[in-house]
Amino acid sequence: MTSSQHMLRQLGDLVGEKHLLTERDDKAWYTKGFRVGRGEALAVVVPQTLLQLWQILQICCASDAIVLMQAANTGVTGGSTPDGNDYDREVVIVSTRRLKGVQVIDQGHQVIAFPGATLTELENILAPLGREPHSVIGSSCIGASVIGGICNNSGGSLIRRGPAFTEKSLFARLHNDGRLEMVNHLGIDLGETPEEMLKRLEQQNYTTGDRPDWAGKIWADDYASQLRDTAADSPSRFNGDRRYLHESAGSAGKVVVFAVRLPTFEASPQTRTFYIGSDDEQQLVALRRMLLAEMQALPIQAEYIHRNAFDLTVRYSKHMMLAIGKLGPQALPGLMAKKARWDVRVSHLPFYRETVWTDCYNSLIRLRRVRLRLASSPIAINLNII
């Protein structure tokens, strides 16, 4: 038996054969990114508990396999999928989608989120408490996970709250000498061994005041003031900003995150959305400067949406709008996964040729095109250009 077969057997024994995907069709959804990234993986493994996630890491590290962490696979960086097929070792994708869990602590002022918890779930849990999460989804990436956002420093449109960021997390890292280490920087005493930590965390068997808090921020509380400095000659928002890279935050898959500790925010009772259009970008630049420098309370969120994005939305996203309206954003990841499986099945049909189907689809769209009045279309609300 080769070492890859041995690893697969161990992984299958751990999570059950149903949750170890090795067939090309079954892996298809996980090996192709939402926007970028596509490649091959030996297997996709879908753990159900944090302890299984830890054991998967142990197995993969012992076999010297590459571990690619994947949450909802909506990331725009290609970080959660393989890129090509020329890796020098086996690639195992670990999907966190079954690792659900949000624990509300500190009278609703903070939460601990597990790897599979989505922003929509967090939003729904906090709504009855009059609180909301850092990111209220309503943008390009419906179904995204809380931890995926932390790993990506996402939230480019959030003005008051800045990029998704925390210095308090529970994560595993691999040392150069091959030693796998669990690091508890949640600011909560969970015991000494990884197994004990994960068991106590999952059972919520801890008190937050037990141990002096791990001195660390739980959000980018300095971000708004940086934005206000419109005269600065440095950019205020860019990927890989060192100010927001800390252990799990901005790690983009370089460590494995088991849980993050985050603040919640008072829900805004009344919000209004304004659409401002211009053909002259200088007008928008001036407007942005004015808003940042002169408004006493900053807007919650702002997006630039190019005309092309409106056109694309009208052409391709009506079904998405209907699905979100009728089923809610939480249904999206499941629907997308089903679509991916359907796409694979259809691609096996003997008479299938992608271009033929695309041409048919486009003709149908052209026939049925309805002229929407874009400015008042609710489609636009869900667009977020990063």
Ligand X SMILES: Cc1cc2nc3c(=O)[nH]c(=O)nc-3n(C[C@H](O)[C@H](O)[C@H](O)COP(=O)(O)OP(=O)(O)OC[C@H]3O[C@@H](n4cnc5c(N)ncnc54)[C@H](O)[C@@H]3O)c2cc1C
Name the nearest CA neighbour of 48 among 9, 8, 95, 6: 95
- The token duo for 90 is 């086996």
Residues 255 and 358: their CA atoms lie apart, in Å, by: 40
Q: How far is the CB of 81 from ligand X (least distance, A)?
A: 8
User: Which residue lies nearer to ligand X by CB, 74 or 264?
Assistant: 74
- We find the least distance from the C-beta atom of residue 168 to ligand X, in angstroms, to be 15
- State the minimum distance, in angstroms, from the CB of residue 121 to ligand X: 12
Question: CA angle at residue 329 from 147 to 24, to 5 degrees?
Answer: 70
Backbone angles phi, psi at 113, to 5 degrees: -115, 140
Residue with smaller CB distance to ligand X, 211 or 330: 330
Distance of closest approach, residue 161 Cβ to ligand X, in angstroms: 11
CB of 109 to ligand X, least distance (A): 23
Choice between 100 and 211, CB closer to ligand X: 100
Residue 60 or 144: which CB sits closer to ligand X? 144
Note the residues at the interface with ligand X (CB under 6 A): 69-77, 79-80, 96, 115, 139-141, 144-145, 147-149, 151-157, 239, 252-253, 256-257, 384, 386
**Under a CB-based contact definition with an 8 Å cutoff, are residues 152 and 79 in contact?**
yes
Residue nearest ligand X, CB atom distance: 148
Closest to 43 measured CA to CA, from 220, 206, 163, 59: 59
Q: Which is nearer to ligand X, 190 or 252 (CB)?
A: 252
| Least distance CB 26 / ligand X (angstroms) | 18
Q: Residue 263: beta bridge partners?
A: 110
* Residue 346 vs 385, nearer CB to ligand X: 385
Distance CA 59, CA 49 (A): 15
Residue 313 or 384 with smaller CB distance to ligand X: 384
Token pair for residue 23?
A: 């067939």
Q: Closer to ligand X by CB, 110 or 157: give it.
A: 157
Residue 80 CB, nearest approach to ligand X (Å):
4
Q: Name the DSSP letter for residue 242.
A: G
Q: Minimum Å distance from CB 185 to ligand X?
A: 14
DSSP per-residue codes, 260-290: EEEE-EEPPS---------S-HHHHHHHHHH
Q: What is the DSSP letter of 18?
A: G
Sequence-separated (6 or more) residues with CB below 8 Å from residue 315: 365
- Cβ contacts of 151 within 8 Å, gap of 6 or more: 69, 79, 248, 249, 250, 251, 252, 253, 257
